[in-house]
């Protein structure tokens, strides 16, 4: 069962031999952390489950440390604080099985796997800072589970939280949840990033939602607000909320402040009995959204989806429906892009037409995007309903100069000898010509100081 759930910030200066005299500047947070830790201890947990945004974070899965003994220290911050704790492997295996049953991607990292892939096999500061206060409260002798958040969809993160609740019940374990995360990093110009007005808005909104235990409200926040705020705790909060699904909770905000341009929020949730589950409502809303997306999709995107879904089922290509014959009247290069939870899941295309018509061009590239993009594992049948499709149909490329480029309007091709790199236009995070050229050159393996030719092209994007 879940005995308690908490949100805690993780600035290393909260550790006395790091913060020193500066602890006075965050005294509300220090007091909040102490009160929170006491509440966790009163719930008599048998295991602590941590969620951290500063561990081994991946775009397409969550990860959990899998060694029998977990270690960590804050020596890189100048502290003598270090810990060694037993990993609750029995609970971890229950969580992993629940994830497998629900098709939620979770990777277990032992020390060999971590070190061979240049990952961190130890507890990071996102865990160690709140753990310090839990140890002070007498919880240093119970097992832990250390989970790193992943860039999955909001719904998947919530579902993952529910798998932990179920796993705890199956294991007969009293589990306390500790979601680690700071709020906005853009509260002041002298903070880690420049000030953005959405920073304070985000922090006020999250504090209000958690004070009311309004977890449904978390799903109403816009992605732009979170991005502008520069936060690192939202995904941890979503998983924590999922852990409390179907439970009536008593919320308490212990403290909030932002003295250095970063918001520090401590909050706790004490389960008090059963309540209606939010999960079915969230899953139904997501199903309706995906159905609407499919129904409103463009002809090229519908064709790409139809091709890949049939190919994944029986390795055959469907016949082009009679009402879609328009695609046979044109010939052009085309890129098919797949996204899952807003993250790229595959993208393959042709600069110039390779096939007799656009229908064949899209079909071939849809299959390749789903099964042959070397950056990703092949798409599984279980993922098909959660994919979004877009098709970029390319115009003819024309030679140009650097000053003729516009990353929002034109794609770019760079060429040096046999090496060639292409980047589509209007990509998220590519806002300048310099960024566009840098990425295209990297894709081609061309150094910036080498001579290279530039071409530009326009595209029509179909979703």
Mean pLDDT estimate for the chain: 94
The closest of 375, 365, 313 to 344, measured between CA atoms, is 375
Mean pLDDT of 261-284: 94
Q: Which two tokens stand for residue 294?
A: 């499919």
Contact in structure between 185 and 199 (CB atoms under 8 Å): yes
> Which pLDDT tens digit goes with each residue over 428-460?
889 899 999 999 999 999 998 999 999 999 999
Cα–Cα distance for residue pair 233/258, rounded to 1 Å: 14
At 427, is the pLDDT very low, low, confident or very high (cuts 50, 70, 90)? confident
Indicate the DSSP class of residue 187.
S
At 408, is the pLDDT very low, low, confident or very high (cuts 50, 70, 90)? very high
- Per-residue pLDDT for 342 more than 80? no
> Residue 363: what pLDDT?
97
Mean pLDDT of 322-343: 90
The closest of 226, 250, 286, 191 to 53, measured between CA atoms, is 226
Scan for tokens 């995360």, then name that residue: 181
Q: How far apart are the first and last CA of the chain?
A: 44
> Which pLDDT tens digit goes with each residue over 178-225?
999 999 999 999 878 999 999 999 999 999 999 999 999 999 998 889
The pTM for the full model equals 0.82
> Which pLDDT tens digit goes with each residue over 22-45?
999 999 999 999 999 999 999 999
Cα–Cα distance for residue pair 129/330, rounded to 1 Å: 60
At 290, is the pLDDT very low, low, confident or very high (cuts 50, 70, 90)? confident
> Residue 164: what pLDDT?
98
**DSSP-derived 3-state class of residue 47:** strand
Work out the percent of the chain whose per-residue pLDDT is above 90. Answer: 86
């Amino acid at each position: 069962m879940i005995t308690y759930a908490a949100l805690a910030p993780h600035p290393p200066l909260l550790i006395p031999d790091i913060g020193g005299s500066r602890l006075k500047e965050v005294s509300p947070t220090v007091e909040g952390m102490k009160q929170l830790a006491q509440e966790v201890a009163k719930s008599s947990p048998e295991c602590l489950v941590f969620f951290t945004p500063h561990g081994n974070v991946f775009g397409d899965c969550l990860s959990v440390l899998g060694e029998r003994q977990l270690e960590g220290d804050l020596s890189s911050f100048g502290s003598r604080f270090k810990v060694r704790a037993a990993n609750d492997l029995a609970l971890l295996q229950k969580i992993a099985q629940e994830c497998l049953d629900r098709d939620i991607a979770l990777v277990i990292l032992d020390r060999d796997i971590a070190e061979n892939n240049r990952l961190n096999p130890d507890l990071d500061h996102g865990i160690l800072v709140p753990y310090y206060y839990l140890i002070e409260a007498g919880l240093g002798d119970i097992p832990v589970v250390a989970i790193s958040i992943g860039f999955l969809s909001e719904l998947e993160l919530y579902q993952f939280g529910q798998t932990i609740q179920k796993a705890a019940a199956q294991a007969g374990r009293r589990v306390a949840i500790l979601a680690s995360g700071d709020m906005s990093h853009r509260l002041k110009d002298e903070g880690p990033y420049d000030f953005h007005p959405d920073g304070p808005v985000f922090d006020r909104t999250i504090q209000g939602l958690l004070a009311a235990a309004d977890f449904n409200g978390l799903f109403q926040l816009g992605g732009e607000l979170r991005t502008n705020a520069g936060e690192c705790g939202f995904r941890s909060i979503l998983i924590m909320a999922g852990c409390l699904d179907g439970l009536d909770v008593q919320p308490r905000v212990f403290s909030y402040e932002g003295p250095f341009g970063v918001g520090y929020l401590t909050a706790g949730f004490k389960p008090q009995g059963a309540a209606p589950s939010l999960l079915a409502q969230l899953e139904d809303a997501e199903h309706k959204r995906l159905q609407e997306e499919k129904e409103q999709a463009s002809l090229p995107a519908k064709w790409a989806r139809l091709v890949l879904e049939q190919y994944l089922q029986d390795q055959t290509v469907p016949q082009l429906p009679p009402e879609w014959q328009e695609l046979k009247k044109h010939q052009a290069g085309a890129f098919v892009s797949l996204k899952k939870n807003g993250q790229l899941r595959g993208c393959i295309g042709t600069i110039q037409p390779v096939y007799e018509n656009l229908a064949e061009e899209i079909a071939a590239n849809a299959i390749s995007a789903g099964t042959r993009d070397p950056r990703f594992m092949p798409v599984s049948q279980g993922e098909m309903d959660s994919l979004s499709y877009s098709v970029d149909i390319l115009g003819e490329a024309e030679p140009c100069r650097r000053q003729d480029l516009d990353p929002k309007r034109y794609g770019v091709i760079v060429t040096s000898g046999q090496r060639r790199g292409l980047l589509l236009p209007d990509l998220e995070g590519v806002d300048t010509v310099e960024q566009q050229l840098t990425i295209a050159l990297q894709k081609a393996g061309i150094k910036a100081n080498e001579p290279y030719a530039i071409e530009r092209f326009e595209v029509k994007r179909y979703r």
